[in-house]
Amino acid sequence: MSTAQPHVPDVSIEDRLYTVKYRDAGESHLGVKDPDICVECTSNECTQVCPAAVWTVEDDSDGVPSIAYENCLECGTCRFGCPHDNVRWEYPKTGGGVVFKQG
Give the interface with ligand SF4 as residue ranges (CB under 6 A). Answer: 30, 32, 37-38, 41, 44-46, 49-52, 54, 65, 72-78, 82, 84, 86-87
- Shortest CB 2 distance to ligand SF4, Å: 36
Residue in 63, 53, 52 with CA at minimum distance from that of residue 86? 63
Per-residue DSSP letters for 30-57? EEES-HHHHHH-SS-HHHHH-TT--EE-
- Shortest CB 11 distance to ligand SF4, Å: 19
Nearest 10 degrees: CA dihedral of 16, 47, 88, 67?
Answer: -70
What is residue 80's three-state secondary structure?
helix
CA dist., res. 64 & res. 57, Å (int): 7
- Shortest CB 79 distance to ligand SF4, Å: 7
- Shortest CB 5 distance to ligand SF4, Å: 27
